Structure 1
Amino acid sequence: MKNMINKDYFKKRIAVSICLLSCLALSLTGCSSKQGVTLLDKAGHKKNAQIDETTKGSRDNTPLCLVPTAPGTDAFENEYAHIDFSNKSEGYVFVTYKGTCPKVKLQITGPDEVTYTYDISNSSKTGEVFPLQAGNGEYMINLYENIEETKYSMVFSLPLEVTLSNGYKPFLYPNQFINFAPDSLAVRKGAALAYPCDSDIEVVAEVYNFMIQNITYDYEEAETVQSGYLPDLDEILITQKGICLDYASLMAAMLRSQNIPTKMEVGYAGTAYHAWLSTYIKDVGWVNGMIEFDGKDWSLLDPTFASNTEEKKLESFIGDGSNYSVKYVY
């Protein structure tokens, strides 16, 4: 008999109240210019973050877009699904659903025992990319079909032992939530923003400031967003608006395409379900987000709140980061 699970397990990831600061008792303002990231020179003095965008910086801004592949050298399948794990050491797998059920869920549980649930398309012939973001160890990959109303049945299960070639790789490749390619507008914009920069820190500053000054919060989308929503990064750039998942995904894509490992973190900001970023800076390590760098300390990087909140209220809410609770990392 097939294993049964209740649909309640697959609760809507994107709440209608996503990012609404009213949930945090903070008043909203329109998108306006902010101070953004403060950079310091070698002497520790504040450096003007407004970089001359007409002069090429010393840092190479050539996009590095890692393209996932499914060569089929290591794969497993049954009548319902095909999983290509040839590049599991790179931090991802390709999953292709072979059936006809309109509602299909994929669950991946890593060595950290966190279970990620994804919607699977039954129209993709080449498969979809899913990250192995929990590091080295055993992953369990399960696929479920909807059989009636709220009931799902397991139709595929695969244990997978993973040893990553580089712990940063899962946060450099695209995936279902951060979907970009070499010809994406997001990649080109990331390269343009990185053009005048001398360091990764300056790239993060340029991308961050672009986000908070140019992308506005889409309240209509937030009120109508459906379960299974995935960001369209080029559309966000064209319309210059989005919800918090859009903000975080777009910024992550621009940074990843500049070879800066970036995590999109999803969890709770106060009581609101929300998305923000962490990024890896050489010689600094993983920065659990940043708004400002004072030469030693960083505060949480949250481009949605930063673009919609007065600076003092933002700093007060972020504080030491204890208002943020990470649930998932993509």
Structure 2
Amino acid sequence: GTYRIMIGEKVKGNKYLSILQKDIKVDMKDETSAYLQSNKAIDWENEDSRILKKAKELTKNSKTNLEKAKAIHSYITKNYTYDNKKAVRVSKDYVPNLKDFYKIQKGICFDYATLTAVMLRSVGVPTKLVKGYDSNNPNIYHAWNQFYDESTEQWVTIDTTYDATVKASGKKIKFKKSVEDYIVEKAY
């Protein structure tokens, strides 16, 4: 894609004066490779080794990205619960602490989506952590994932938060979600 790079000089507080601005076009041979890397939001290379070991254990017999995603999705949706109290008090600058989430197995959508992305990326599945809105409830900010299915060459939308809640109520879930049910604002 095309990216705008700006170098700014701090003027006062959080105000900057643009010194240099340039648009650059980036072409990648494999666009999915960006979603295998560690970054500030999904730092899987420096994550708790228990999480990475668990991901490897869950996917040891899986051959495809779809099989790996289903194994990790199943584990998360069976073992983690939504924390309604945390959802009410969470700040806008909240960053998941996966060590805590992995241990207490209770959190909000950002925790679920980050754990899903970390586990999938650590076993070689290109995975996006996506933020935005559920089109059925556009007033509540939400986080979910998309993983790359190499057999169809398409991104597949999954939502471990929603599915864990539905599964806990005893209802059946549909693994793949419809893209139309989500409004994407950011993807990492």
TM-score class, shorter: 0.7 to 0.9
After superposition, where does 1:161-180 map in structure 2 within 5 Å? 161=24, 162-180=26-44
Maintained 8 Å contact 2:149/2:156: no
Please give the secondary structure, in 1, of the residue aligned with 2:4. strand
Q: Distance in 2 between matches of 1:319 and 1:190?
A: 22
Give the superposition deviation at 1:261.
Answer: 0.4
Give the superposition deviation at 1:319.
Answer: 7.2
Q: Output the TM-score relative to the length of structure 2.
A: 0.81
**1:208 paired to 2:73:** yes
Give the superposition deviation at 1:313.
Answer: 8.7
Structure 2 match to 1:195? 60
Compute the RMSD of aligned alpha carbons. 2.7
Give the superposition deviation at 1:233.
Answer: 1.8
Larger Rg: 1
Pick the aligned partner of 2:148 from 280, 286, 289.
280
Structure 2 match to 1:303? 160
The structure whose residues are more often helix, as a share, is 2
- Paired letter, 2:79: N
Listed one character per residue, the Cα deviations across residues 119-168 of structure 1 (whole Å, up to 9, x for unaligned) are: xxxxxxxxxxxxxxxxx3333245686945xxx31156553623334311
Identity %: 26
- Paired letter, 2:34: P
- Paired letter, 1:178: I
Q: Answer 1 or 2: higher relative contact order, Cα 8 Å, separation at least 6.
A: 1
Maintained 8 Å contact 2:156/2:177: no
- Paired letter, 2:163: A
Please give the secondary structure, in 1, of the residue aligned with 2:38. coil
Structure 1 match to 2:16? 154
Q: Output the TM-score relative to the length of structure 1.
A: 0.49
Please give the secondary structure, in 1, of the residue aligned with 2:161. helix
Pick the aligned partner of 1:327 from 168, 174, 185.
185
Q: Distance in 2 between matches of 1:230 and 1:216?
A: 18
Maintained 8 Å contact 1:268/1:324: yes
- Paired letter, 1:285: E
Structure 1 match to 2:122? 257
